[in-house]
Structure 1
Amino acid sequence: MSKETLILILAIDRGVGSAPLTEHRTKAAVPFGGKYRVIDFTLANCLHSGLRQVLVLTQYKSHSLHKHLRDGWSIFNPELREFITPVPPQMRESQDWYAGPFDAIRQNRYLIERSQAERILILDGGVVYRMDYAELVQAHADSGAAVTVAVRAVRGAGSGTQAGVELGEREHILGFRPPVGDPGGSGSRFGVRAEMDLEDDEQPEQFETMGVFVFDRRFLIEEMTRYDQRRQAAGGTLPDTDLALDVVAPLTSLHQVQAYRFGQARGRVTPDRYWCDLASVDAYYQANMGLLRAEPPLDLYQAEWTIHTHQGQYPPARTVPGTRSGNEGIFVNSMLAAGTVISGGGVNHSILFPRVRVNDGAIVEASILFTGVVVGEGAHLRNCIVEKGVEIPRGMRIGFDLKADRERFCVSPQGVVVVTKIDQQASG
């Protein structure tokens, strides 16, 4: 099945709602869960599903992503026709960048045409979930559909960012509904876990897309030709913002468009039904904090479906007494990546990426610290996301006075402070 399926991972999205986190990287390259990048989850799904012909379509600030793919995912054997290859805009027909998801696919038509694959699996590289794509592809082949769309069950507003789906008999898709948006403007319902939406039994079950599509290769090529004809007739422009709404929806009345329900029993991965699109700072923060629960909605420790990534050869994380106070470094209910040192400080309910240092008397509470962050002596952080390499000056308090924090940092609607740099004059 691997050689019969070509995978296109869309990693062109900046992620507007999570803009402070994507100032220097694309959404797919955002750090997640203490040691991973967001795209690692999609790539791990490909790896465990036995599908190893992967093109990653990149565009926005892609250097960090390209470096991660090189360092962490150069694991396939090209002699066996296995590959993970980044594909920035090639500009073969014009000088245009990718205008949207389908335009990115259309601009790489030549790669699809020269592939010997029978099916094209299109994935969003900016979401976090586990899924056995082999079962999805098999269900697509068994159904005889031209297009299969993975859908997840939700109640209420759902994620607020994905198109709704109207299902008919035998999982046939009758149509799509536009996303409802984030009702509260907070990102609190951005698909952090499907079961959370399903708890309210008084609301009828609904379905929405997940950014996962399977096309028959020949049909996709024909559709690209029809799309180009429509685009030329429209003067060279057509809307291209959503694969479900702009590309697949017009096909529902003419061709068989099938749904594949996410989280069902078939497949080799535990059906935890977790799916998160990290579409806002609050959604990102909540998804990471959810990993610290006694029973997290996403189990990173599932032995048969490990998440592969790149991690430097750092020494083990450790706690040591403070150099001045002699107090022991402590951490409670937290994740500490390799190379992290807590020297006389305290860490509670937080996630620390590699090579973080928390110095004597410093306290970190309910926060996410990216690689290389240094927390100075006596500093106190609460409800913060701190960008890679930032040094927090000694004695600084962040997360206690949101009015003052807004003058220096980005503060989310739910009060999460994103620290991307420190104004040394203001801090001194």
Structure 2
Amino acid sequence: MSHKVVSIVLGGGRGTRLYPLTEQRSKPAVPIAGKYRLVDIPISNCLNSGYNKIFVLTQYNSASLNKHIKNAYNFSIFSKGFVDILAADQNNEGDRWFEGTADAVRRTQKNLLNVDYDYVLILSGDQLYQMDYAALVDFHVKNKGDVTIATIPVTGKDATGFGILKSDENNVITSFIEKPNKEELLNWGSEVSEEMDKRGRHYLASMGIYVFSKGVLASLLKENPGMDFGKEIIPESIDSKNVLSYQFDGYWTDIGTISSFFEANIGLTDDIPDFNLFNETVYTRARMLPPSKISGTTLNNTIVADGCILNGDKIQRSIIGIRSRIGHGTVIKNTYMMGSDYYEQLEEVLELGSTQAPPPVGVGERCYIENAILDKNCRIGNNVRIKGGKHLKDGDYETYAVCDGIVVVKKEAVIVNGITIGC
């Protein structure tokens, strides 16, 4: 059965744990898989589920996110679907930034008045997963929920970073705790599937995905001044509302840190990845790029996006993003190269190739790069060696940062000939 649903994708805060990738962009605008943005994931899940009325709430460093959404999601004039951006703004109700997930929805809910809906689907803009939201909403309706939380079993190690809950035999949530410490976790185990039990995932964590019945959301936001759904609104509604747990057992990861971002992307190169790009359509901005050209390069477990020119020696377990250029004799391993926003003229590349001041956009000749993220529009010269690993201490430098052993070359950084990082 089809239900009338409006979706709200939360654009997130400053994303400090994803720095330097969020130095010039918001978390949902961070490129993934060589050609997409993180925000494409929840929007694509909505569209694949048949829900095409979508608001995206933005705040920090939102210019690139706004541009991406404007260029990517244009519906037919005969469709009632939309993907609209709602930014934090100054008005008669206040002039401050959004101060939490609930505060963001509360201050923008007036925009829902002209939309025909019965249920509100609230989503995070910085997670990687595929979910049929229609099944989630059907579960909510069938079980007469006021609020339904999508949950996933996690290990004790991971549980301290999530909201953890317990539910009864009818999937009604009876208790909720936000980011418990190890001692508090002792009594919070739940009944999970046999497969999850074998993997030691005994705790039900909130995925930050919520379904609210129309009137319930409005009343909760009016009665409760809390700023955050996970910390205040949800826990305080358990005693007064029918709050349900919808257990999800597919692949899901929260892209909260550089290491989780790196692992999620590199994991896409596995023979059978946990997140399958070939399963459901992931929508994004349509670019009229030429096919990639590969000359003499050995590729192994590598994803190559459109418009690349690859002359390197070997690329292994890596993602090569749009418009990437890699020079002769270069070896790249376990690396996410985001690519470029533009092409340089061939004459300019040839000229820069000889002078190397600055190097052309891309990676030059005879380089070795391992355990790294190369942000957009990097210029890496010839004979450069970059090797991340646990031997490196975290730090922030002019052209790169080190996070959990991963070397992150900053957007538009210039690494001149012969530089060595981490070797």
**Bin of the TM-score, shorter chain as denominator length:** 0.7 to 0.9
TM-superposed CA distance for 1:329, in Å, is: 2.6
Aligned to 1:90: 89
Separation of aligned partners in 2, 1:48 and 1:386 = 31
Q: CA 1:424/1:71 → structure 2, altered by over 3 Å: closer, same or farther? A: same
Instruction: Indicate the residue corresponding to 2:108 in structure 1.
Output: 108
1:104 Cα deviation after fit: 0.7
Kept in 1, the 8 Å contact 2:309–2:324? The answer is yes
Cross-structure match for 1:295: 272
Name 2:290's counterpart in structure 1. Answer: 315
Looking at structure 2, the residues matched to 133 and 400 of structure 1 have their Cα atoms a distance apart, in angstroms, of 38
Alpha-carbon deviation of 1:130?
0.5
One-letter amino acid of the structure 2 residue matched with residue 256 of structure 1: N
* Cα displacement (A) at 1:181: 7.9
The count of corresponding residues between Structure 1 and Structure 2 is: 385
Task: Give, as a single letter, the amino acid of the residue that structure 1 aligns with 2:87.
Answer: P
Contact persistence 2:27–2:38 (CA under 8 A):
yes
In the other structure, the counterpart of 2:210 is 213
The Cα offsets for residues 96-148 of structure 1, whole Å up to 9 and x where unpaired, read as 12111111101112123443311111111111111111111111111111111
Q: Which runs of 5+ in 2 are unaligned?
A: 183-191, 341-360
Give the equivalent residue in structure 2 for 1:383.
Answer: 371
1:354 aligns with 322
Residue 330 of structure 1 is aligned with which of 295, 298, 312?
298
- Aligned residue for 2:365, secondary structure, equals coil
Task: Give the drift of 1:353.
Answer: 0.3
Give the strand-richer structure, 1 or 2. Answer: 2
Q: CA deviation at 1:346?
A: 2.2
TM-score scaled to structure 1, two decimals?
0.84
Q: How far, CA to CA, are the matches of 1:405 and 1:123 in structure 2?
A: 31
Comparing 119-128 with 392-401, which one deviates more in the overlay? 392-401
1:364 aligned residue:
332
In the TM superposition, residue 249 of structure 1 has moved relative to its aligned partner by 0.7
One-letter code of the match for 1:21? L
Within 2, Cα distance between the matches of 1:411 and 1:59?
Answer: 26
Structure 1 segments unaligned to the other structure (5+ residues): 183-193, 232-237, 264-272, 321-327
Name the structure 2 match of 1:410. 401
Partner of 1:234: none
Report whether the alignment pairs 1:136 with 2:111.
no
CA contact (8 A) 1:155 1:198 kept: no
Q: Deviations over 1:120-179 (max 9, x none)?
A: 111111111111111111111111111111111223223643211111230000121222
By how many angstroms is 1:90 displaced? 3.5
Q: Say if 1:359 and 1:6 are closer, same or farther in 2 by CA, change over 3 A.
A: same
* Matched-pair contact (CA < 8 Å) for 1:375–1:394: yes
The 3-state SS of whatever aligns with 2:158 is coil
Distance in structure 2 (CA, Å) of the matches to 1:407 and 1:258: 43
Distance in 2, Cα, partners of 1:274 & 1:172: 23
**Contact persistence 1:91–1:107 (CA under 8 A):** no
Is structure 2 residue 26 aligned with structure 1 residue 17?
no
User: Does the alignment pair 1:118 with 2:118?
Assistant: yes
Tell me, what secondary structure is at the counterpart of 2:269? coil
Cα RMSD of the aligned pairs, angstroms, is 2.6
Distance 2:287 2:51 in 1: 26
TM-score (norm 2): 0.84
| 8 Å Cα contact 1:113/1:221 also seen in 2 | no
The one-letter code sitting in structure 1 at the alignment partner of 2:235 is A
